[in-house]
Structure 1
Amino acid sequence: MANKLVIKVTSGADAPERCSQAFTVAAVAVASGVDVSVWLTGESAWFALPGRAAEFELPHAAPLQDLLESVLTAGRVTLCTQCAVRRDIGEGDVLEGVRIAGAQVFVQEVMADGTQALVY
């Protein structure tokens, strides 16, 4: 098993099943003791804002708000710098525990020994 799992979420309400799958995998990995880092990019960037995950609905899926909270509690959540700027999201706008970082940090995480990466 990988020591670390980096999940890049590129979708949001525009592709709800793909989005839900990413957060479900992240939450299950966290619950299994895996070191998880979730990157919010593209339309998933909106979930870095308070209340946005609670608005997401997908029948027969775990509430996105609950999945995100579990990752924030035991893993890391990062909002892509460029995605944040494009949406006029600043450091003071995001949920507590969400950091804003760019491609250099993403590459460092993905290239670390024992890391597996998934893109949704």
Structure 2
Amino acid sequence: MSKKLVIKVTAGADAPERCSQAFTVASVAVASGVPVSLWLTGESAWFALPGRAAGFELPHSAPLPELLAAVLAAGSVTLCTQCAARRDIAQADVIEGVRIAGAQVFLSEVMADDARALVY
């Protein structure tokens, strides 16, 4: 079995290349059969809301809504609890399949023997 890849993306529209890299790596990993857990933190937290990914544009990159959909279909997407609270985002507000969880859950994922972590 493949090692689980835990990706924490802190960038959003404020750093589009970094943001796009995180989503691209996550979607390529799930397409390759690698278990993926994508964490939305900081400015990427907004992409947990319906329609927000559609407003993201970066020339020569795959559309963010498609990348996010791929990860949701075959991996997991988590919105940071504190990041959600700072933006007044509740579980009822997010895209179906996105969970809200905190540092304890993140730590348990990255510390697992079968996990590798990336931060963007």
Normalising to structure 1: TM-score of the pair?
0.98
User: Does the 8 Å contact 1:80/1:102 carry over to 2?
Assistant: yes
Map 1:17-36 → 2, pairs under 5 A: 17-36=17-36
Normalised by the length of structure 2, the TM-score is 0.98
Gaps of 5+ in 2: none
Percent identity, please: 80
Q: Within 5 Å, give how 1:99-118 maps onto structure 2.
A: 99-118=99-118
Moved over 2 A (4+): none
CA RMSD for the aligned pairs?
0.9
Give the aligned partner of residue 84 of structure 1.
Answer: 84
- 1:84 maps to a residue whose letter is A
Tell me how far apart the structure 1 counterparts of residues 91 and 5 of structure 2 sit (CA, whole Å): 24
Give the Cα separation in 2 of the matches to 1:113 and 1:75.
18
The alignment of Structure 1 onto Structure 2 pairs a total of residues equal to 120
Q: Which amino acid aligns with 2:104?
A: Q
Structure 2: distance between partners of 1:93 and 1:86: 14
Where structure 1 has 5 or more consecutive residues not aligned to the other structure, the ranges are none
Pairing 1:4-83 to 2, within 5 Å after superposition? 4-83=4-83
* TM-fit CA distance, 1:3: 1.3
